[in-house]
Amino acid sequence: MIQKFPHLCSPITVGNVTFRNRMFSAPMGGTDITNDGCIGPKSTAFYELRGKGGAGAVTVSECMVHPETDGSHAYHLDTRILNSIASAAYTADAIRRHGAIPSLELSHSGMYAGTYMTDKTRQKEMNQWGPSETVRPDGVQVKALTKEMIADIVAAYGNVAGLAKRAGFEMLMIHGGHGWLINQFLSPYFNKRTDEYGGSPENRCRFAIEVLKAVREAVGPGFPIEFRFSGSELFDGGYTLEDGVEIARQIEPYIDILHVSAGTYQRGFGDTHPSMFKDHGCNVYLAAEIKKHVSVPVATIGGLNDPEQMEEIIASGKADIVYMARALLADPFLPRKVEANQEDHIVKCLRCFTCMAERAVTATRRCTVNPWIGREYEPIEIQKAPVSKKVVVVGGGPGGLKAAHTAALRGHQVILMEKESELGGILKSEQAISFKHEMYELSVTLAKFCREAGVEIRLNTEATRELIEKEAPDALIIAAGSAPLVPPIDGIRGSNVVLVNHYYLEKDRVSDDVIVLGGGLAGCEASIHLAREGKKVTIVEMRDMLAPDANIRHRPLLLKEIEKSVDVRTGMRCVKVMENGVVCEDKEGNQATISGTSVICALGQRSRRDVAEELRGCAPYTAVIGDCAKVSTITNAVYQGYHAALDI
């Protein structure tokens, strides 16, 4: 077989270990962490799936090395904890049995101890320790580590490293980035010490080097040690890329792989985890520059999910290894698909931050496009149904497509009816917004899966009760979606008004002076897109805040984009649309006119419950899913479609 991505799929040997390809699974925290820090069975299954999916290495995150000064609720490896070694050993074995190299990330949160705790009030009960005495932005007092404590932490790194090797891990990643303790020592912003651990670059690297020496002594020669650090902290007062090059030179003699990330905790979430508003691979330049100055293999990371881009990164010498996290949540089998030249079958990450928002809110994990997440311990292979049945799916949006594909994989005869001429539902509207194009691509990929699985797709077919009853299905899944909400505002049907759902069809009608009615997620994202095109954009929102429907990780980054170039009028309700603007009214009844020659109506969606009511009872089994049941998210539509099909 001629390999389309030969550099990406080529093995790499580091120390005494050969990795089967250059696609590594980046550190991602588990969810069922026991109270004493052991890896639970759900997390073991979570990491195993990345190994089964073909990654060259799978990194388990994070193992905190020194509980005495780091109270984060994360993994611990400690012989004093019952089952600690055993749970780690089972996890390493689960990854290795599929040919991936198991790696463990060793960390210390330093002044951000307690960050991982769902109960944030407990952070106030701890002592936070860092290189220097300070007060965190949230008011928490930070104490400076003494030299004796530093020595104790260094020894702890070595001790845990030895235990990790004993448990079966074949590589270790030392976390020296993102504002954690080692990074706090490296950073002139955090490190104000005047002893041998502060001041000059050599002194600020001293703690990291002592840690790496302790780890090497514990694991011996030939055992790969990877150092993860931020190539630049990317904020005023932090270190620059030039400083990052110097840090890399200092660290290089003690490591086998240099993993170059970006940003720092609480000051650069959107840099460390590039959002949909940034280019894929926007941080690769950091690794590319640092690679010019070191001889060890260099790894890069940051919003990567396209095989062609990753192939170019390695082929051109920008990096030797690419890491993915969210991309392997969306599609754990991405590496295997790349190796099989099936890149068009990859379900791409949407960079919507559902995964990270859910982890922060509920300490669980979800992925918009992958309903397996959090359930990897269940059989992920879709089993054939005992009896093949006839299934009709109404609606070709994300929920309907997922339901139809899943039902077909179970061996059912599936007919999908879509009243429009194109599949995709509400996702069709995303194709005109550049940073949301992957949402549109999701519909294209799911449609491909349906066709390959043998789903009979009937476009331009409105599902009526008569038509469904004529088909006499055994099961009916109603995924009719939602329709734009258009209130009875004077002039709202004018020629200068475009529904946000229809923008992709009518974008040429939108002038350079736009008013967006509705400051929810759809209105805000459309506004950002229009502003990036150079248009003058004003959002009118009757509530006092924008995008309350956005998740807690996506929303702050979205608001930053809005601040750059969009005028916002909150607490204002549109009462009239005119050719040259809109009339708005505040809560006190005061009116104001806002000028603009085009209006985008983004005032929400309403469920097509009328369709569900008309078709209810047409089959022995009926499921109503997605927006048709309740206007919600792509996540809920995909999950509900998947599980409705499994229930047939």
Q: What is the pLDDT of residues 560-609, one digit of tens each?
A: 999 999 999 999 999 999 999 999 999 999 999 999 999 999 999 999 99
Domain containing 555 equals: 497-603
Do 577 and 492 meet the contact criterion of CB atoms below 8 Å apart? yes
SS3 643: helix
In this structure, the answer to whether residues 463 and 432 fall within a common structural domain is yes
Count Cβ atoms below 10 Å from residue 190 Cβ, excluding itself.
25
Residue 28 lies in a domain: yes
Q: Cβ-count burial of 377 within 10 angstroms (0-12 exposed, 13-18 middle, 19+ buried)?
A: middle
Looking at the structure, tell me whether residues 266 and 312 fall in a common domain: yes
d(CA 268, CA 229): 14
Same domain for 517 and 596, yes or no, is yes
The pLDDT value given to residue 121: 62
User: In terms of domains, do 414 and 460 share one?
Assistant: yes
Position 234 scores a pLDDT of 95
Q: What is residue 119's predicted lDDT score, i.e. its pLDDT? A: 59
239 shares its domain with 133: yes
Based on the fold, state whether residues 304 and 437 are members of the same structural domain: no
In this prediction, residue 118 carries a pLDDT of 54
Maximum distance among all alpha carbons in the chain? Answer: 84
Alpha-carbon distance of 244 to 241, in angstroms, equals 5
**In terms of domains, do 18 and 145 share one?**
yes
**DSSP-assigned letters across all residues of 166-219:** HHT--EEEEE--BTSHHHHHH-TTT----STTSSSHHHHTHHHHHHHHHHHHHH
Give the CATH number, domain containing residue 443: 3.40.50.720
Residue 141 lies in a domain: yes
Answer yes or no: is 377 within a domain: no
Note the pLDDT of residue 35.
85
Give the burial class of 138: count Cβ atoms within 10 A of its Cβ; 0-12 exposed, 13-18 middle, 19 or more buried.
exposed
Q: Is 316 exposed, middle or buried (0-12, 13-18, 19+ CB in 10 A)?
A: exposed
| pLDDT at site 378 | 85
Statement to judge: residues 628 and 616 lie in one domain: yes
Say if 40 falls within a structural domain: yes
CA distances from 497 to 166, 493, 588 (A): 66, 6, 27
**Domain CATH code at residue 86:** 3.20.20.70
User: Residue 122's pLDDT is what?
Assistant: 61
d(C-alpha 76, C-alpha 72), whole Å: 10
Whether residue 378 lies inside any domain: the answer is: no
Question: What phi, psi does 478 have (nearest 5°)?
Answer: -100, 110
The sign of the CA dihedral 105, 109, 112, 118 is positive
Q: Which ranges of the chain have pLDDT less than 50? A: none
CATH number of the CATH domain containing 565: 3.50.50.60
Say whether both 152 and 40 belong to one domain. yes
Question: Mind giving me the DSSP string for 128-167?
Answer: EEESS-EE-TTS-EEEEPPHHHHHHHHHHHHHHHHHHHHH
pLDDT of residue 268: 83
The answer to whether residues 406 and 541 belong to one domain is: no
- Residue 381 is assigned to a structural domain of this protein: no
In a domain, 576, yes or no: yes
Split into its structural domains, the chain has a count of: 3
Q: Are residues 49 and 67 in the same domain?
A: yes
Residues 622 and 476 in one domain: yes
Task: Report d(CA 239, CA 190) in Å as an integer.
Answer: 10
382 domain-assigned: no
- CA 300 to chain CA centroid, Å, is 17
